[in-house]
Chains A and B, each alone.
Chain A
């Protein structure tokens, strides 16, 4: 079966712009989580969605937002981009919750210049 699909794979944006990243979970998975990964910080939790509702949120500014659609696909939006937002953004899906772990996508590499 298809894995977690993230698009686009690479993205270059300018400071001040906004960006939308997309994640299609494994078929049947209803939970989608987003993570930011930078070399110095490791994986940092952004938020989790389940059945179109945000279930958990990490400690990121309001410029980071997300949503989930009825087909479980999820989008993440970052407004007013800053240089420090350059990172690998990972999406992970699971059936219901993360008890038995996630399946991660390959990520979107965002570079802000």
Chain B
């Protein structure tokens, strides 16, 4: 069964610290993987999209990695800011399909 699992479910860090969020998937064959940031009460906003051949992609303080062999992705946030407090959702698209498989997200809270 195609699944996307994210860990941890929630995370609390202090402002200025780094953190890493994990995404494991069983979707096969694989087309691409996206990370979205969702502020409370708002729609998700795309951070990165990675295809099979990409290992690392950065967007400012956000760096996503992908290991297609182990079917794992991570989102690393550097020098966290209060505005990073949000839910981060991992979404996988299978190959030869237009179905998106959503993870349930990691809720990140950054405190001063």
A is bound by B: yes
Interface size on A, residues (CB 8 A): 24
CB < 8 Å A-B pair total: 49
The residues of A that contact B34 with a CB separation of less than 8 Å are 101
Contacts A42-B105, A56-B98; A98 near B93 (Cβ below 8 A): yes
Closest to A3 in B: B43
Would you call A90 an interface residue if the criterion is a C-beta within 8 Å of the partner chain's C-beta atoms?
A: yes
A48 contacts across to B, CB distance below 8 A: 98
Q: Which of B42, B43, B98, B105 contacts A98 (CB 8 A)?
A: B98
A104 touches B44 (CB 8 A): yes
- Measured between beta carbons, the chain B residues less than 8 angstroms from A106 are 41-43
Please tell me if the beta carbons of A99 and B32 are within 8 angstroms of each other in the complex: yes
Which size bracket describes the interface of B in this complex?
20 to 34
Interface of A: prevailing SS: strand
B78 touches A (CB below 8 Å): no
Contact B46 A107 (CB under 8 A): no
Given A98-B93, A99-B32, A103-B46, 14 other A-B contacts at CB below 8 A? A41-B104, A42-B89, A42-B103, A43-B102, A45-B99, A48-B98, A88-B41, A90-B43, A90-B44, A97-B98, A102-B46, A104-B43, A105-B43, A106-B42
